[in-house]
Structure 1
Amino acid sequence: MPVVTDHAAVPLTPVYTIVIRESGEASVDGHQVETLPGQDARDAALALIQEKAARLDRPVRVNAKEPDGSTWPLIVDWDGEVTPLEQPHPAPAPPATRRAPEQPPATAATPVHLPPPAGEPVIPGVPLAAPGVDWAVPLPPAYREMLDAVKAADVAGRLPAAEVAAKDLEEALDDEYGASHPYTVNVVAVRANLALRRAVWTTSLELHMRAAWLRHDQQAPRGETLRLARNAHFCWKHLAAECSKHSGTHDPAQAQRRVQDLLRVLRHVDVEPIIITTTEEWAAKPLSVAS
């Protein structure tokens, strides 16, 4: 029998998302799940959710998406017990409106300053101002010290340390508010920018894709969402060696493995058709030709 019998007692957030691909691979909230030899990807994904439930000391809500497009709402407890639900998870109440901050926070809406990379990036100078205050409010005071650690490392030019601090901050916000909350998604975008500035193309690609997808699903201000999607394409171009002046870090095989995920994101957020078309044309080439 399921451990969780009072479904309404389980908090409405966070709601984690497991995606099972046709290849058999799985991801949790956009993070690909690593499996042990012989381990099924579904089991590995559920084990990761079980760990998150244990850290929260309570059951959590999950949407499990199958390759055929079906979605199964579940409740997963810390001991691994899975309770399927007959109805989708209830939508959480919208966050209360807050006053805009006096000082701009270090969020995804912060202007991006990049050293000029080789190739032609698709990055506007300054993102559009966000009309929704809930995507621009500062983090709660409990997380200011962690955010200050990110800023201090960034200002000092210690980008690897800033990335580690940002990842710790994201995980803390994920545990408290969920992976799709603006607090968490904004920090994902900060991590994406840090990785981009270090030219860590694969990591930056995955983080930009995840932030763009989550923002689009929540109807966040579109200008910043499009910027993140374009930056994802920019990172992928470096992997694909389409930036002809750039050398040494391209990885066409890696680009081939990521291109379908990128196309899903580009179509999902509805970026400019030319970006989608050129990416589709590259993806259609045999790897030996594309490389």
Structure 2
Amino acid sequence: MPVVTDHDAVPLTPVYTIVIRESGEASVDGHPVDILPGQDARDAALANIQERAARLDRPVRVNAKEPDGSTWPLIVDWDGEVTPLEHAHPTPPAPTATRRAPERPPTTAASPAHLPPPTGEPVIPGPPAAAPGVDWMALLPPEYRDMLDAVKSADAAGNLPAAEVAARDLEDALDDAYGAVHPYTVNAVAVRANIALRKAAWATSLELHMRAAWLRHDQQAPRGETLHLARQAHFCWKHLAAPCPKHPGTHDPAQAQQRVQDLLRVLRHVDVEPIIITTTEEWAAKLLPLAS
């Protein structure tokens, strides 16, 4: 794919910031970038930007800061093409004053969107789509609201183990009443996946994210959230495969090696962005054999 020639067609925001340090480390918008053995920090940072561009389905703007203090404005596309710019990125226009939109009423559907976001690098969900005949955002029946409230209360108090137990109780109750593939139950699985991710329980979170993404895809659930779950599965697997400074001692390369084919099967099944599949295959080829 050729480099981007129409620079003005690339939206002015977001503008991501890559920082390369003399130590050989790299970050994107302040988040450390995982670097494979033998991989250059710049290549690792650009691969991170590729994933972001793939999620947005368009090229993105980047400021790359070198150890010597120089800054290079770039445009990076999802396929890895990098277009250097001769001038700094234009300053986005100041937002115009608009009348404040009315606030949306709170919802209580058993969805990970109704709990605090996971720690670590955020994964941006795509736009929601309609699922014919199934309301994936429907409120839980009244008899299960107290169980959901128990999950949310424990979560708000920072007691993730208690939230995890309450979420498992909710899933079991919904499974008994509606079956394992009903949207109520699948949404509860997604809640459990979210909690496990924030506990850095990578293997458990990987399993739950994969299950929720697969079941949603098979039932033609709104695609944005399905892709979000699949991307989060990829996120969990990377942390299972390699050490993370924020969560020392939580990785398990042997478990990652055992589950990589399951992950790839899910990513292909839900038709996630090709760059995410490629990244998983590269990690499996380069990193996991070293850990054997």
TM bucket (normalised to shorter chain) is 0.5 to 0.7
Q: CA deviation at 1:142?
A: 1.2
Specify every segment of 5 or more residues in structure 2 that has no aligned partner in the other structure, as ranges. Answer: 1-103
Q: CA deviation at 1:109?
A: 5.7
Q: Which of 88, 104, 107 pairs up with 2:107?
A: 104
Q: Distance in 2 between matches of 1:281 and 1:139?
A: 41
Q: How does 1:226-265 map to 2 (within 5 A)?
A: 226-241=227-242, 247-265=248-266
Q: Distance in 1 between matches of 2:165 and 2:212?
A: 18
Query: How many residue pairs end up in the alignment?
Result: 187
Q: CA deviation at 1:290?
A: 5.0
Structure 1 counterpart of 2:276: 275
Q: Distance in 1 between matches of 2:239 and 2:230?
A: 15
Q: Judge conservation of contact 1:111–1:127 (CA < 8 Å) in 2.
A: no
Q: Distance in 2 between matches of 1:180 and 1:229?
A: 17
Q: How does 1:6-45 map to 2 (within 5 A)?
A: none
Structure 2 counterpart of 1:222: 223
1:181 corresponds to which letter in structure 2? H
Q: 1:279 to 1:244 in 2, by over 3 A?
A: farther
Q: Judge conservation of contact 1:109–1:127 (CA < 8 Å) in 2.
A: no
The list of structure 1 runs, each at least 4 consecutive aligned residues, that deviate by more than 4 angstroms after superposition, is 242-246
Provide TM-score, normalisation by structure 2: 0.59
Q: CA deviation at 1:242?
A: 6.8
Q: Distance in 2 between matches of 1:272 and 1:243?
A: 24
Structure 2 counterpart of 1:123: 123
Q: Judge conservation of contact 1:178–1:184 (CA < 8 Å) in 2.
A: yes
Provide TM-score, normalisation by structure 1: 0.59
Specify every segment of 5 or more residues in structure 1 that has no aligned partner in the other structure, as ranges. Answer: 1-100
Q: Distance in 1 between matches of 2:145 and 2:117?
A: 25
Structure 2 counterpart of 1:178: 179
Q: Judge conservation of contact 1:256–1:287 (CA < 8 Å) in 2.
A: yes
Q: CA deviation at 1:178?
A: 0.7
Q: CA deviation at 1:137?
A: 0.7
User: RMSD of aligned C-alpha atoms?
Assistant: 2.4
- State which structure, 1 or 2, has the greater radius of gyration over its C-alpha atoms: 2
Superposed CA deviations along residues 3-23 of structure 1, whole A, max 9, x for unmatched, are xxxxxxxxxxxxxxxxxxxxx
Q: 1:245 to 1:165 in 2, by over 3 A?
A: closer
